[in-house]
Amino acid sequence: MKKAFVLLLCLIVSILSLLSGCGRGEMIEIKPGPDSINPHIGRVYIEGDVSVPGIYPMQQDDTIDALLQAAGGYTGKGEPDECRIYFTSSTISSSQQKVDLNRAPRWLLEALPGIGEVTAEKIIQYRSRHGPFRHIRQLVNVEGIGQATFENLAGKITVAAYGE
């Protein structure tokens, strides 16, 4: 009986010592995740009709226009048809970039599904005549864009630059 009591006492002391270690006011190091240390999500290579071709860091909220501006902007006249951006596979994420209806050049509007050369030009003419889009739903006011086309584009477009 005495052996069982000593064994039980040893067991209780062991458990208490383990539990008391959790309650101490010891400092522990918490390391932030990679997003808070380094906000860039990868790199892109930009070449073609830009002032300074090369490799550039890409931030999570960068637009294609912002990346081209980082490369010094377009050097050619008119639309930047000769600009190329190469994304590394680690740069591409599941979050999708949206096209700003108020700032997008014709070539970028044409890249949207269901928008061809003629409709892209109509979008540009509409914003020239009526001012910047205030909401993406205004896109249905552009000739040639119906409700079905708008619904297909709704998740791919924005007017985030309105008022900037």
Token couple for 152? 């297909």
Residue bearing the bigger pLDDT, 20 or 70: 70
Query: Among 11-20, 30-39, 124-133, where is mean pLDDT lowest?
Result: 30-39
pTM above 0.75? Answer: no
- How far is the C-alpha of 132 from the C-alpha of 134, rounded, in Å? 6
Total residues belonging to the chain: 164
DSSP 9: H
**Average pLDDT of the chain, as a whole number:** 74
pLDDT digits (tens, 9 = 90+) for 33-70: 444 444 557 788 888 788 888 888 887 778 888 888 88
More confident residue, 160 or 116: 116
Nearest to 88, CA basis, from 43, 56, 39: 43
Hey, how many other C-beta atoms are within 10 angstroms of the C-beta on 153? 19
Q: Which positions ≥6 away from 141 have C-beta within 8 Å? A: 126, 130
Higher per-residue pLDDT: 59 or 77: 59
Please state the domain extents for the chain. 37-87, 99-158
We find that the CATH architecture of domain 99-158 is Orthogonal Bundle (1.10)
Q: What sign does the CA torsion over 162, 69, 127, 153 have?
A: negative
